[in-house]
Amino acid sequence: MLPFLLLLCLILCPLIFLEDGGSPFYVSKRLGKGGRTFKMYKFRTMKRNAPDIRNADGSTYNAKNDPRLTRIGAFLRSSSLDELPQIINILKNEMSFIGPRPDLPEHIKLYSNKELKKLSVLPGITGYNQAYFRNSVSFKERLKNDLYYIRHLSFCLDLKIFIKTIEGIVLRRGVYGR
């Protein structure tokens, strides 16, 4: 997997840089297991210095016609290739392939005591929400689904999530939000 990521970096990093001269990577602090923060890596999909736009519930704004997206960024996001650098986070034992998506550190203030259970497992590149709902549910609904995943954690559920994720990527379902 690492040679594939390196090959992709050799191809994508220059394309991202050539579009607007910015770094090919987007690095963002996220909440990990036990509430520890870590730096999550992605290929950058937005123009340099793009404003941070949030939905009313605090979740990230995401739309196909978002003017902040670069041309290559729109492709990376719709194909989910922007997520591949998170393999580095897996190698650093900060993430897993499957688990709840990591939230921004400030979102911990929005968790109820029950929802803090989300931080009992490693966050994942994909998870129950991404496989079944992608970007179509609210922040609180995502937390509810994350708790469902944790309560039903099993190899079979992870296998279903993996298959559903591949299906969603290939068919490009639910890439853009509500």
Q: What's the token pair of residue 157?
A: 């559920």
Domain boundaries, the chain: 2-171
Angle, CA 131 vertex, CA 130 and CA 132 arms, to 5°: 100
**How does pLDDT run along the chain (178 residues), one tens digit per residue?**
678 878 988 999 999 999 989 899 999 999 999 999 999 999 999 999 888 887 777 667 777 788 899 999 999 988 889 999 999 999 999 999 999 999 999 999 999 999 999 999 999 999 999 899 877 788 899 999 999 999 999 999 999 999 999 988 887 665 555 4
Pairing of strands 124-126, 96-98: parallel
Residue with token string 């400030």:
106
pTM: 0.86
Return the H-helix or E-strand segment holding 115.
none
pLDDT recorded at residue 173: 63
Distance CA 44, CA 12 (A): 10
> Around Cβ 5, how many Cβ atoms within 10 Å?
15
